[in-house]
Copies of this chain bind each other. A is one copy, B any other.
Amino acid sequence: MPESSTWVLTDVASETYVHSFELHPEDVPGSPPGWWVTKETLHGGLRAGVDLIGVSNGALTFWIVPTRGMGIWKGQFHELDLGWESPLLGPVHPKFVNLSDRNGLGWLTGFDEWLCRCGLVSNGPPGDDNGTPLTLHGRIANLPAESVLIGVDPQPPHAIRVTGEVLEGALFLGRLRLRTTYETVPGSNCVTIHDEVTNLSAQPAEMQMLYHLNFGHPFLEAGSKIEVPFRELAPHTAHAAKALDAFDTYSGPVAGFAEEVYDFHPATDTEGRTVALLKNASESLGLAVRWNAAELPCFTVWKNTAALEDGYVTGLEPATNFPYFKGHERTQGRVRVLSPGEKWSATWSVAILDSAAAVASVAGEIAILRGRVVPIIHRQPVFGPAG
């Protein structure tokens, strides 16, 4: 096993906090040129006080936000932008976000990330859950990390890792800890996300996780397509049901577009592995999202092809559940219950495909997965409360 050289950037338990940080190939003897890791604190506007960690493997660069639950703000693969243009200028410090605002929709006032976690106690729309008001997509994206660690393997391929821990808990309100590790190898087109959620309470605890992974241009454009190998597909709403026949095709930006959402149970290989593909119109660019359905049995595609000014974006969302209200998801067995000390984990990845060959290769994988099932397409939102 390769040992990893580690640098602690934040660890509140030991009162460790590094204000700014840079790591380069010369800090890890034998590592290839071109990679770097940085840490800074942002100033001004809604980002005042936000910690930002930059990771570049030389080809793929991304910006992790410990202050926002270890989400990823934006990324770049060579010249390609990863993420989307939100109507706001983030990353937004949680101090400017009131989750309870607007009947529990306040989460939207902080949302501009490439990757934003929805959880841990709940995700989905706001509502009253047996007397407890839940807010849109939960608290985790607006909680700061308690620890942040950088690691680089001294042995080839010199994997770079950023690990962070975020605690969602309080007296009488449970105690879940997210531990996430982002891993990427110098020169690769891929980042792997390994998450553990541990129930630190002595009581059982419910848990939900949805990965809100979002893309705009250049991956999203008129004629872009999403390929999902699935066992079952249903529109999320009656509105989405109307556009079901074109569920896998994207339009260009349309002012006033009302979001369309589709829910999938993926087809997998015998190990539970599956992959979804977003590709541009000419099939020369794409994104492959790989996950394991044993960990993340649900997948949601969020089509929000609104005007560029208002957020032209699609979400590829592997999850423990569909983004219905938690109360409904509970009745469907899609809320995890963790025993005291129990750990939930998931490992998944995003790869950027910048050639027709790479896109075709993933499409080929998907074709094989499709061949393993007879897909069911529900024309109505059968996964939801009205179904």
Q: Contact residues of A with B, CB < 8 Å?
A: 10-13, 15-17, 19, 42-49, 67, 86-89, 94-96, 98-103, 105, 108-112, 131-133, 143-147, 167, 169-175, 200-203, 253, 255-256, 304, 306-311, 340
Main SS class of interface, A: loop
The 8 Å CB contact of A43, one of B17, B108, B132, B306, is: B17
| Chain B residues, CB < 8 A from A144 | 44-46, 48, 96
Chain B residues with CB under 8 Å of A105's CB are 172
What's the Cα separation between A167 and B46 when bound, in Å?
10
User: Which residue of the partner chain, among B109, B132, B170, B308, contacts A111 with CB atoms under 8 Å?
Assistant: B170
Q: How far is the CB of A317 from chain B (nearest CB, A)?
A: 15
Count of chain copies: 3
Indicate if the CB atoms of A174 and B42 lie closer than 8 Å: no
- Knowing A49-B49, A99-B101, say if A89 contacts B255 (CB, 8 Å): no
Establish whether residues A310 and B132, one from each chain, have CB atoms under 8 Å apart when the complex forms: no
Do the beta carbons of A99 and B98 come within 8 Å of each other? yes
Pick the residue among B131, B145, B170, B202 that contacts A45 (CB under 8 A): B145
CB A164 to nearest CB in B, in angstroms, measures 10
Asked whether A12 lies within 8 Å of B47 as measured between CB atoms, the reply is yes
| Closest 9 A/B residue pairs (Cβ) | A202-B307, A17-B43, A202-B255, A95-B95, A12-B45, A87-B175, A45-B146, A10-B44, A87-B169
CA–CA, A111 and B200, complex, Å: 18
Query: Which residues of the other chain, B, contact A19 by a CB distance below 8 angstroms?
Result: 43
Q: Are A171 and B203 in contact (CB-based, < 8 A)?
A: no
Are B87 and A200 within 8 A (Cβ)? yes
Contacting residues, chain B, for A145 (C-beta < 8 A): 44-45
Q: Could you say which of A87, A131, A132 has the most chain B C-beta atoms within 10 Å of its C-beta?
A: A87
Structural contact, B10 and A201, CB atoms closer than 8 A: no
Task: Please name 26 pairs of A and B residues whose Cβ atoms are closer than 8 Å in the assembled complex, sorted by A.
Answer: A10-B44, A12-B89, A15-B42, A17-B43, A45-B146, A86-B171, A87-B169, A87-B201, A88-B169, A88-B171, A95-B95, A95-B96, A96-B143, A96-B144, A103-B132, A105-B172, A108-B173, A110-B170, A111-B170, A112-B171, A171-B304, A171-B310, A200-B309, A201-B307, A201-B310, A307-B340
How far is the CB of A206 from the nearest CB of chain B, in Å?
15
Cβ of A89 and Cβ of B167 under 8 Å apart? yes
The smallest C-beta distance from A35 to any residue of chain B, in angstroms, reads 22
B171, A87: Cβ atoms closer than 8 Å: yes
A89 near B203 with CB under 8 A, answer no
Give the residues in chain B near A309, CB-CB below 8 Å: 175, 200-202, 340
Set of chain B residues within 8 Å of A42, measured between Cβ atoms: 12, 15
Taking CB atoms, residues of chain B closer than 8 Å to A111 are: 170-171
Q: Verify B44–A89 contact, CB threshold 8 A.
A: no
Known: A44-B146, A307-B201. A170 touches B98 (CB 8 A): no
The smallest C-beta distance from A201 to any residue of chain B, in angstroms, reads 5
CB pair B102–A133 under 8 Å, yes or no, is yes
Closest beta carbon of chain B to A165's beta carbon, Å = 9
Measured between beta carbons, the chain B residues less than 8 angstroms from A310 are 171, 175, 201-203
Q: Contacts A44-B144, A89-B167: A101 and B100 contacting too (C-beta < 8 A)? A: yes
Cβ contact within 8 Å between A86 and B170? yes
Q: Which of A43, A167, A255, A340: most chain B Cβ within 10 A? A: A43
**Shortest Cβ distance from residue A362 to the other chain B in the assembled complex, whole angstroms:** 29
A376 to B282, CA, bound (A): 68
